[in-house]
Amino acid sequence: MAIVDGDIIRVSVNFELPDGTQYQNIYHYIRDGTDPYSDAAHIAQIKTQLQNAYDEIAVQTTTGVVEQLSFVDRVEFNEIVDDWRVVENIGTFTCVFAPSGGNEGLPYQCSPYIYFKTSRPRTVGKKFLFPFTEAQQTDTILTGSAVTAITAMAAAILTPIQMGGDATLTAGVPRTGVQSWYNFLVAVVQDVLGTQRRRRPGVGA
């Protein structure tokens, strides 16, 4: 079944940290426009956008991070359980990522992040990033170059994907427990390191 106007796509982007710990970010896109394009074309465009976005922070990321297979699925709201469920696998892709920051990485739980805002204050997207190298911060405060790199990554994700014709893919978030969709409008990037509590060696994403 081809992706059509109004479909919501869930993208699970996967990497592996140096000790084998899983790294994962989940993105959602909404398809707008009636011009038809194949599933493969959608996957290729999503891969290009996300690969370019992660490239923005390759210099800051500790070496040893390895790309893994990422998944693209179509989701729908299930009124029986009041939740969004995967209804179809669209396909897969693998980002090409070459981190070059060096081996002295921060502890996994010390994580830069991007905070994406929508028109609903309590409906937001928060994306924790790779472990940066120690040189990218001082006393938990990120360097200016690190903040600039994260900002460029956020800008790449905020830019709607132009499929061609009237067809676009826009990043956002489906509201939990409700059949509502909100586009990402702006991104907030802070210079203070965040904490990803689930990300410790051998556990979590």
Bridge partner list, 16: 22, 66
Say whether pTM exceeds 0.85. yes
Residue 130 domain-assigned? yes
Residue 201 domain-assigned? no
Nearest one of 79, 76, 185 to 125, comparing CA atoms: 185
How would you classify the pairing of strands 113-117 and 186-189? Answer: antiparallel
Residue 148 domain-assigned? yes
DSSP category for residue 102 = -
Return all residues near 43 (Cβ < 8 A) that are at least 6 apart.
72, 90, 91, 92, 93
Domain count, the chain: 1
Residue 62 · residue 105 · CB < 8 Å:
yes
Residue 87 domain-assigned? yes
CA distances from 118 to 5, 24, 182, 187 (A): 21, 22, 6, 9
* pLDDT at residue 197, as a whole number: 75
Phi/psi of residue 41, each to 5°? -65, -40
* pLDDT at residue 2, as a whole number: 85
* pLDDT at residue 81, as a whole number: 86
Residue 108 domain-assigned? yes
* pLDDT at residue 82, as a whole number: 85
pLDDT in tens, 8-34: 999 999 999 988 899 999 999 999 999
Low-confidence ranges of the chain (pLDDT < 50): none
Calpha distance 169→30 (Å, rounded):
5
Enclosing domain of residue 110: 8-195
Calpha distance 24→82 (Å, rounded):
24
Residue 200 domain-assigned? no
Residue 88 domain-assigned? yes
* pLDDT at residue 1, as a whole number: 65
